[in-house]
Amino acid sequence: MSEHHFVSPFAQRFNLSVPVVQAPMAGGPTSPAMVAAVSNTGALGFLAAAPFSPEKLATEVAAIRALTPRPFGVNLFVLDPAAPDDSTVRHALAAIDPLRAALGLPPGHPLEQYAPDFQAQLKMLVELRVPVVSFTFGVLPRHDVARLQAAGSYVIGTATHVAEGLAWQAAGADAIAAQGAEAGAHRGTFIGEAEDALIGTMALVPQLVDAIGLPVLAAGGIMDGRGIVAALALGAQAAQMGTAFLNCAESTIPAAWKARLRTASDTATRVTPAITGRHARGIRNPLMQQLAGQPGHIAPYPVQNALTQELRQTAGRTDNGDYLSLWSGQGVPLGQKRPLNIPAALLVNQLDAEWRVIAAKIGALNHQGEA
Ligand SMILES: Cc1cc2nc3c(=O)[nH]c(=O)nc-3n(C[C@H](O)[C@H](O)[C@H](O)COP(=O)(O)O)c2cc1C
């Protein structure tokens, strides 16, 4: 495909030669080096900024800008301030403290802050005037979407079902990231029960395309060129891929997490709120199973997330895969054919070559049909 022939209006708008968005992934994978490498190779790199203070958000964006002149995205979690009562915290710690003890950590305690202040993050995001922004866990009020758009940002809202897509449309969003049940890590669900919002990518994407009339990005289970072609066939304008990029050289996650991705099977993952208080898909391990075994002791997000954080960070430092959060999508085995620590640019180039071969084959079949 020539540079002047784009596969979709979304690809054209951001001058993408590859119809792939590298999903924002909080917790280490989406380093500035990853984001820039992806954008420099013709796809759209995306920084996950939810865990960052406004100052850190600014320095990470500056680092990306130093590495690429091309468009990139920044993602935040839509969150209200958390003010848990003491008993919620103590109840959660009763289940977490024995795991802390197993790693040699003293008992946990209530924290001053459970997540960065979302309003301060949003203010900084407006000031930074980044090309693309996306949000999950909620919907912004219309005036905040308009503020971002006035600053030149293209606004994407995450939806796990049609009502959430309609909420983002009403808020004035430019596009929807459709997150299917296959997807790795947190569910974006913010209307209704998370258990009811596990719609597979194959069913979700065309329903959002039909209902909303905004560009849709397909996320969940897309790992190679076949998945990209399928996403485009369903009406998506690009594939948003997370798990496929976890294995990259630029993905700064613990080696133990990468190692488990390489051996995980199709049935290795589960969706549970046990680790962070919000439903999320990850590879089962003792951390997940021990916390999930005490469902009465799980504080809501972001409290549970913050209370299990030191434990998971300690496991990361000691490369202990038993006590890490091993976020992963259901497609994880499909990534095992690629080399460990593959450079992100090489992965993007492979994905581009793969989807074009399949699209050409389908084109040839159509041609035979016509003859
Ligand atoms: C490790 C990990 C962290 C993630 N963190 C975020 C995040 O910070 N913000 C977000 O909007 N989505 C996040 N996601 C979800 C992705 O945006 C996307 O929905 C998902 O990766 C698509 O499914 P796949 O993993 O099968 O490709 C994360 C996914 C993974 C695997």
Please, what is the average pLDDT of the chain?
96
How many Cβ atoms from other residues are within 10 Å of residue 296's Cβ?
8
- Residue with the bigger pLDDT between 236 and 4: it is 236
Task: Name the burial class of residue 293, with classes exposed (0-12), middle (13-18) and buried (19+) by CB atoms within 10 angstroms of its CB.
Answer: exposed
Distance in Å, CA 18 to ligand 1 centroid: 19
What is the reported pTM? 0.97
Same domain? 184 vs 246: yes
Residue range 119-141: mean pLDDT, rounded: 98
Indicate if 237 and 345 belong to the same structural domain: yes
Task: For ligand 1, atom 31, name the residue with the nearest CA.
Answer: 184
Pair (58, 203) in one structural domain: yes
| Residue 365 pLDDT level (bands cut at 50, 70, 90) | confident
- Residues 196 and 314 both lie in one domain: no
> Is any ligand 1 atom within 6 A of the Cβ of residue 51?
no
Q: Tell me: do 68 and 128 sit in the same domain.
A: yes
Phi and psi at 54, nearest 5°, equal -55, -40
| Residue 144 and residue 216 in one domain | yes
Q: How far is the CA of 220 from the centre of ligand 1 (A)?
A: 8
Going by C-alpha positions, the residue among 41, 82, 42, 35 that lies closest to residue 57 is 35
Closest CA to 219 of 242, 237, 199: 242
Cβ proximity of 282 and 308 under 8 Å? no
In a shared domain, residues 128 and 152: yes
- Provide mean pLDDT across the span 323-333: 98
Q: Which two tokens stand for residue 293?
A: 């075994």
**Residue 149 in this model has a pLDDT that exceeds 60:** yes
Has residue 3 been placed in a domain?
Answer: no
Q: Is the pLDDT of residue 2 over 80?
A: no
The average pLDDT across 114-129 equals: 98
Quick one: 74 and 151 in the same domain? Answer: yes
The ligand 1 atom at the shortest distance from the C-alpha of residue 328 is: 31
Q: Is the model's pLDDT at 153 over the cut of 60?
A: yes
> Of ligand 1's atoms, which has the minimum distance to the CA of residue 331?
26
Residues 68, 185: one domain? yes
- Give domain status of residue 258, yes or no: no
pLDDT band, residue 4 (cuts 50/70/90)? low
Q: How far is the CA of 233 from the centre of ligand 1 (A)?
A: 22
Is 334's pLDDT higher than 50?
yes
Whether 143 is in a domain gets the answer yes
- Does the residue 332 lie in any domain? no
Cα 19 to Cα 343: distance, rounded to the nearest angstrom: 18
What is the rounded CA–CA span in Å between residue 161 and residue 194? 10
CB 267 within 8 A of CB 259: no
Query: Ligand 1, atom 21: nearest CA belongs to which residue?
Result: 242
Query: Which residue segment(s) compose the domain that 290 sits in?
Result: 84-113+269-327
Query: Measured from the CB, is residue 320 less than 6 Å from ligand 1?
Result: no
Confidence of residue 208 (pLDDT cuts 50, 70, 90): very high
The encoded tokens of residue 39 equal 């954008």
**Over the Cα atoms of the chain, what is R_g?**
20
**d(CA 265, ligand 1 centre) in Å:** 19
Q: What is the CATH number for 348?
A: 3.20.20.70
- pLDDT for residue 363: 86
- Ligand 1 atom closest to the Cα of residue 219 is 22
Residue 358 lies in a domain: yes
Q: 106 and 119: one domain? A: no
* Residue 156 confidence (pLDDT) above 90: yes
What is the tally of structural domains in the chain?
Answer: 2
Task: Locate the ligand 1 atom nearest the alpha carbon of residue 135 and give its number.
Answer: 11
For residue 205, tell me if it sits in a domain. yes
Shared-domain flag, residues 109 and 131: no
Give the model's pLDDT for residue 1: 45
pLDDT band at 366 (very low <50, low <70, confident <90, very high): confident
Q: Do 152 and 299 share a structural domain? A: no
Task: State whether the beta carbon of 327 lies less than 6 angstroms from ligand 1.
Answer: yes
Which of 79, 186, 201 has most ligand 1 atoms within 8 Å of CB, for mutation?
186
